[in-house]
A and B are shown apart, each in its own frame.
Chain A
Amino acid sequence: MAELRLVGIKKVYDKDVVSVKDFNLEIRDKEFLVLVGPSGCGKSTTLRMIAGLEEITEGDLYIGDKRVNDVAPKDRDIAMVFQNYALYPHMDVYNNMAFGLKLRKFKKDEIKKRVDNAAKILGLEELLDRKPKALSGGQRQRVALGRAIVRDAEVFLMDEPLSNLDAKLRVQMRAEIQKLHARLQTTTVYVTHDQTEAMTMATRLVVMKDGIIQQVGEPKEVYDFPNNIFVGGFIGSPAMNFLNGKIEGNHFVMGDVKVEIPEGKLKTLRDQGYVGKDIVLGIRPEDIHDEPLYLKSSPETKFSAHIEVAELMGSEIVLYSKVDDQDFVARVDARFNATAGQTIDFAFNLSKAHFFDKETEERIK
């Protein structure tokens, strides 16, 4: 059983580089927690502080009930998997998995028991005497995971373990890691800068920017209710559209285009004094519609726009267009045959959209 608690964690490298600050987070037992954010936001630094590979400048880290700031990494009961998860090239699969335990002077029988067990979980039983050279990419990745599994650790820490793989293998290994987690139920902290990976794998995700947590929540919650413009734009692909405009009466106004705001949202905006002010509308591409039926039932948010580019993605089309000279992207059903060069009607589903403060960029709640 392992929960992790990060309390007021801060990391300062050599005097002036503050990489992580004000980091407060409880990671639940058995959770698959994903740290996600753009390059340099402090994901690896956070993970490495949990591992003990980087010193914690300020704050407390608990694994279970124990404060571990001063516990050496090897004594923290963690297993780590990194980006280049390479293997010892001259050892067979068995010994690659066994080696970490050998270094720690485990007994032969115990090593064998653990390696055999890991091999079984990962379907590597037939390959134990192969050298890495004679394995496929996916098999190698599984051996690398096996090297962590044999540790029997309370916590797995993974830093972008799939980022060096080609797209196909990445999808395959993503599923593999999820299966593994379902089976072993080991508390896992997983770092990625890929929001798709974060969305598909996480029980909860932590979105970071500039060393600061922007939002913590279940993937769907973060997707549906982003705390701020950054999170809204970072999670989801194609990204959420952000359109500048003004609240006038019941309407959100972008130049010549006016769309009517649903009552509930309007009340919030009124109550907080946003009427007459510049404000940002955030709307996901799938909440912009062109189906005749939707257009008919939503005349109050309808406007027409010119399609600049149309990308067919199977059953859906991604349309690139402009309203009031501001770019937006819509993801619509391919059945309605929208093509580049046309001017067509669109309607916003504003009940699913959000408004953000133009200054603070926070979602108005």
Chain B
Amino acid sequence: MINQLRKVYSTLIVYNEGKNKLDQNYKWFVTGNHEVIGIHEDELTSKDISLLEAFLVPYNIELPILTEEEEKWRQVIQSKEPTDNAFELDSSFRFVYFFISENQISPNLFNDAIHELFAKRVPILWKNGSEGIIIEKQQDSDENLSYDQIIDVLMSDLYVNINFFVGPFKEDLKEINHHFETLTNDAKTVFGYTNKPVVTYVDAIPYLLIHQTEPELRDEISKTILQEYLDDEDTLKMIETFVQCNLNISETAKELYMHRNSLQYRLDRFLEKTGIDVRQFQHAMPVYLAMLARK
């Protein structure tokens, strides 16, 4: 789409991530792919603007000015060179990717709120007006909130939907630019598989593995394992809950508001029909993967 638009508007530019300031001589818009584009005002009539606003979201967000520390991180992340010894680390750290499904939140407000949640100021790097990463240092403090809690706190103050993909802790800066790339890409994959707002790297492994497999293999796995249950949403939902409840019958029955006997009965039927006993972990796991492969 950008290329097509560019044929019409020769001044079209795509927002450059490193910059903090939006050029005020341009009108800015967000595309469906969350790319931010600008067109010089001289090239736009008011009719053009209303037309563009009909299918693009106007964008007028200023990203926060980077602190010295954030600037340092930005450089390693965007570096094309080996990053091993770019600077001294005082503790291990992890990248926490965030995505806000509302284009008009002010990143400055978000930053203010995030800083209040941690004992020490955390570097935050925005990719664009709706996503970025928090660089969280490992701290021994019993006061830290979980990311689920953070979401609820922020949601009630900022009125926005937030997703977090929490990366693994890192001891050094080795290949950190690569890690950043993978993590932000993985995040997009991960939220296609689950509707949980917070996903950790460990939670994400099954999604990432399945996502890597060839479509043919995915198809084969789901068909071979799930057989006649392939489209039986009720049963699959039941098994998914069963897996999430650590294969605990009572808990699952309670969660699904079902009698435990009828749960038992349906699991027995599944075993009869497929030869797979999801009450055993080594059977539950492939069924779970097959369900993911179906998505």
Contacts and interface: CB of A to CB of B under 8 A. Distances in A.
Interface of A: 13, 38-40, 48, 51-54, 72-74, 79-91, 99-100, 103, 132-133, 147-148, 234
A184 B161 CA distance: 28
A89 B159 contact: no
A73 B159 CA distance: 6
Contacts of B160: 53, 73
B144 interface: yes
A39 B257 contact: yes
Q: Which of A39, A80, A90 has the most CB of B within 10 A?
A: A90
16 contacts: A13-B195, A39-B257, A53-B155, A72-B159, A74-B159, A82-B155, A83-B152, A84-B153, A85-B152, A85-B153, A87-B153, A89-B117, A90-B117, A99-B157, A100-B156, A132-B143
Contact of A82 (B113, B117, B145, B156): B156
A74 B110 CA distance: 14
Contacts, number: 78
Contacts of A13: 195
B185 to A, nearest CB: 19
Contacts of B161: 48, 53-54
B255 A88 contact: no
A80 B237 CA distance: 29
Contacts of A38: 256-257
A88 B153 CA distance: 8
Given A82-B155, A82-B156, A234 B257 contact: yes
B35 interface: no
Given A84-B153, A90-B116, A90-B118, 18 more contacts: A51-B159, A54-B161, A73-B160, A80-B155, A80-B159, A82-B155, A84-B151, A85-B152, A85-B156, A86-B152, A88-B153, A89-B119, A89-B143, A90-B117, A90-B143, A99-B157, A147-B156, A148-B156
Measured as residues with beta carbon below 8 angstroms from the partner, the interface class of chain B is 20 to 34
B256 A103 contact: no
B159 A53 contact: yes
B140 to A, nearest CB: 14
A164 to B, nearest CB: 10
Interface in B87-138: 102, 104, 109, 112-113, 116-119
Contacts of B145: 86, 89
Contacts of B241: 39
Q: Which of B119, B150, B257 has the most CB of A within 10 A?
A: B257
Contacts of A82: 152, 155-156
B259 to A, nearest CB: 9
Nearest to B146: A84
Contacts of B148: 84
A331 to B, nearest CB: 19
B189 interface: no
B158 interface: yes
